[in-house]
Amino acid sequence: GWCPLSPTGAQTTQLLVEPPWRRAVLWDWVTLTCQGSGTAGATTWYKDGQRWGQEGWDHFTVTESGTYTCDRPGSGRSPPMRVSDDQVVLQVPAWALLELDTVTLRCWY
């Protein structure tokens, strides 16, 4: 399912990633969704710190590697999400992990 990259219940803009892996890679067909208060469809996207061409859309499938953030009126800018084109990657769930948690890891190469 969708996974927020900021704490549940926080009054901030959240960047959600699907599939829900912390190390996002292009060949996973990564979809980013911007969630926050304010007017739907008023999202501003940034890639590597620069305004990105997906403005107005609340979600899109990433086609280029880079570091993405989004901004929603009323709740500000999201934490960054890096999407890479690495050939070898160890992926962990995108939600917060605690000591002694059971987790699934995925290694692709």
Secondary structure class of 45 (helix, strand, coil)? strand
What is residue 96's predicted lDDT score, i.e. its pLDDT?
62
CB neighbour list of residue 60: distance below 8 Å, 6 or more residues apart = 31, 32, 45, 54
Integer Cα distance of 19 and 37 in angstroms? 23
What is residue 106's predicted lDDT score, i.e. its pLDDT?
67
Q: Note down pLDDT in tens along the chain; length 109 residues.
A: 545 554 444 558 999 999 887 778 888 899 999 988 766 678 999 999 999 887 788 999 999 999 999 998 888 899 999 998 877 776 666 666 667 777 776 666 5
Secondary structure class of 85 (helix, strand, coil)? coil
Which domains are present in the chain? 14-94+104-108 (2.60.40.10)
Tokens of 31: 């979809």
* pTM, 2 dp: 0.74
